[in-house]
């Protein structure tokens, strides 16, 4: 598989090949210099943090798939630990009254450990279930260590419920300590030490739950933000792709539509001239060939922009050419005239326009003459009036003397011609009007106005 270098990431092993440590190592026996053998990448030592994170992810994934199984497993562990402590002599070493019946100790151990199974679904209810057993354990003097499982329930209350629930949770957990102090006095230490130690333990359990909860909320916020950013990025990509498709469609329409109209006009003229003037027919065929080659060249340059198969940069550079400008207008008009449409031009002012505005005027003229070639009929003529103002302002009027009745294909609802002209004009805050000339004149009129450039 070929290596992929991520921008901004220094990966010398991807540039120069597999790593070989060239530093010599001196052997202790005879001092000969030998290169150190490279360690295979698949046998490299894995950092402890990555190992722990991977194990943590697997445990969380298993818990997500089988939450009840995980709860039963963990609860079973704590029940077993409580029963082992209750059946042995471990609880007597800390009990205020070692003579508590073993049967009562076992019942209390189960009552304190079994509710842990609901620690995630109903932590508040589970804590209330352990309260009677904790009170009996404290009053009887057993002081079972299984009562410490209440701290686990406090942790889950801080993790999953509103924080106001901690106040009564602290009272529930501290109540057995108060009962033990009231019944047995200072037999196991001063009352302030017992109560203080219990409150510190409760505070630590609650603080851990709040910390985990805050961290989890922060992680979820980051994940949500990443998802929203990804969605916005995809939307921007789709919008950019749609805009690029519209631009390419507009350019292809201007290129192909105009040149095909010119070729059609030349072909019609050559057919009529073939019987009477073979020389004129040959000239028409030559013009058709020239126009076709120009159209293919422009189309190839446009499609070269879309090529993405030359990723390594070893292929030939795409042929580039500047966008047409008003200096190319004479060549455009010559092609139209060869197709059989007489065109007159009237220019006022000095053409000092930016390239973008020149391209807009050029494409509008091209589209207007193309429509005239298509729909004006025989014996039609066209007139172009172009006036330049100050600050990049310009006014363009293209009229023809073709058929007065507007054809459906000439209206804005058909094709990409008129919408494309309006899109180009709107880029510079201009206006464009297209429609039949007012009576008694015949033909079609396209009027464009570009205002002055706004100061930056």
pLDDT of residue 33: 44
Q: Residue 211 has what pLDDT?
A: 93
Per-residue pLDDT, averaged over 349-358, amounts to 83
pLDDT at 8 over 50: no
Q: The pTM is what?
A: 0.47
Question: What per-residue confidence (pLDDT) applies to 154?
Answer: 93
Distance CA 199, CA 89 (A): 27
Residue 24 inside a domain? The answer is yes
> Are residues 89 and 209 located together in one domain of the fold?
yes
Task: Kindly state whether residues 341 and 392 are assigned to the same domain.
Answer: yes
> Considering the domain boundaries, does residue 20 fall inside one?
yes
pLDDT band at 252 (very low <50, low <70, confident <90, very high): low
Both 100 and 27 in one domain: the answer is no
Asked if residue 208 and residue 335 are part of one domain, the reply reads no
Candidate from 292-296, 337-341, 388-392 with smallest mean pLDDT: 292-296
What is the per-residue pLDDT for 307?
Answer: 55
pLDDT at 429: 86
Under a CB-based contact definition with an 8 Å cutoff, are residues 353 and 275 in contact?
Answer: no
The average pLDDT across 359-368 equals 88
User: Does residue 134 sit in the same domain as residue 195?
Assistant: yes
Residues 31 and 114 in one domain: no
Q: Indicate if 78 and 209 belong to the same structural domain.
A: yes
Is residue 328 one of the residues assigned to a domain? Answer: yes
Q: Which residues pair with 435 in a beta bridge?
A: 445
More confident residue, 312 or 133: 133
Confidence of residue 3 (pLDDT cuts 50, 70, 90): very low
> Is the residue at 53 inside a domain?
no
User: Between the CA atoms of 233, 235, 240 and 242, what dihedral angle is there, to the nearest 10 degrees?
Assistant: 160
With bands split at pLDDT 50, 70 and 90, how would you rate the model's confidence at 305? low
Q: Which residues of 338-372 are buried (b: 16+ CB within 10 A; e: fewer)?
A: bbbbebeeeeeeeeebeeebbbbbbbbbbbbbbbb
Which residue among 227, 252, 286 closes a domain? Answer: 227
Are 340 and 208 found together in one domain? no
Domain boundary among 227, 248, 276: 227
pLDDT in tens, 399-451: 998 875 544 444 444 455 677 788 888 888 899 999 898 878 888 899 999 99
107 and 27 in a common domain: no
Q: Is there a domain that residue 384 lies in?
A: yes
- Asked whether residue 98 falls in the same domain as residue 207, the answer is yes
Per DSSP, what are the bridge partners of residue 383?
Answer: 344, 399
pLDDT band at 253 (very low <50, low <70, confident <90, very high): low
Q: How many domains does the chain have?
A: 3
Residue 144 in any domain: the answer is yes
Q: Closest Cα to residue 436, out of 428, 447, 444, 424?
A: 444
Assess whether 87 and 196 both reside in one domain.
Answer: yes
Lowest mean pLDDT among 40-49, 51-60, 79-88, 349-358: 40-49
Do 222 and 334 lie in one domain? The reply is: no
Tell me, yes or no, whether 276 lies in a domain.
no
**Closest CA relative to residue 255, chosen from 212, 222, 291, 221:** 291
Domain boundary among 167, 200, 227: 227
17: containing domain: 12-43
Give the pairing type, strands 343-348 and 382-388: parallel
Establish if 188 belongs to a structural domain.
yes
């Amino acid at each position: 598989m070929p290596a992929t270098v991520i921008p901004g990431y220094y990966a010398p092993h991807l540039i120069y090949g597999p790593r070989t440590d060239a530093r010599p190592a001196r052997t202790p026996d005879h001092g000969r210099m030998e290169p150190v053998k490279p360690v295979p990448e698949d046998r490299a030592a894995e950092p402890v943090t990555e190992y722990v994170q991977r194990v943590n992810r697997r445990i969380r994934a298993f818990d997500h798939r089988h939450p009840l199984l995980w709860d039963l497993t963990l609860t079973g562990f704590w029940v077993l630990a409580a029963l082992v402590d209750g059946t042995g002599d471990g609880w007597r070493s800390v009990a205020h009254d070692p003579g508590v019946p073993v049967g009562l100790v076992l019942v209390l151990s189960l009552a304190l450990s079994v509710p842990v199974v609901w620690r995630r679904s109903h932590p508040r209810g589970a804590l209330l279930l352990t309260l009677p057993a904790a009170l009996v354990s404290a009053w009887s003097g057993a002081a079972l260590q299984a009562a410490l499982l209440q701290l686990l329930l406090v942790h889950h209350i801080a993790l999953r419920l509103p924080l106001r629930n901690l106040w009564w949770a602290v009272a529930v957990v501290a109540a057995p300590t108060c009962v033990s102090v009231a019944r047995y006095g200072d037999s196991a230490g001063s009352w302030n030490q017992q109560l203080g130690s219990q409150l510190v333990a409760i505070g630590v359990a609650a603080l851990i739950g709040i910390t985990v909860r805050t961290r989890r909320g922060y992680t979820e916020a980051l994940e949500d933000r990443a998802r929203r950013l990804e969605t916005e990025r995809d939307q921007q990509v789709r919008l950019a792709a749609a805009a690029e498709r519209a631009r390419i469609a507009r350019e292809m329409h201007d290129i192909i539509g105009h040149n095909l109209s010119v070729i059609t006009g030349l072909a019609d003229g050559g057919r009529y001239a073939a019987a009477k003037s073979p020389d004129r027919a040959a000239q028409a065929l030559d013009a058709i060939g020239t126009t076709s080659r120009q159209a293919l060249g422009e189309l190839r340059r446009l499609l070269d922009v879309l090529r993405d198969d030359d990723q390594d940069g070893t292929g030939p550079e795409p042929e580039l050419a500047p966008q047409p400008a008003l200096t190319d207008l004479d060549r455009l008009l010559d092609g139209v005239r060869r197709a059989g449409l007489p065109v007159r031009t009237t220019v006022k002012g000095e053409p000092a326009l930016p390239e973008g505005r020149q391209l807009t005027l050029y494409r509008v003229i091209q589209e207007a003459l193309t429509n005239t070639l298509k729909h004006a009929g025989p014996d039609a003529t066209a007139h172009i009036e172009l006036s330049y103002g100050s600050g990049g302002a310009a006014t363009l009027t293209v009229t023809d003397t073709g058929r007065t009745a507007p054809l459906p294909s000439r209206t804005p609802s058909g094709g990409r011609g008129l919408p494309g002209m309006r899109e180009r004009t709107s880029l510079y805050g201009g206006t464009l009007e297209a429609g039949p000339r007012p009576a008694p004149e015949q033909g079609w009129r396209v009027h464009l106005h570009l205002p002055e450039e706004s100061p930056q």
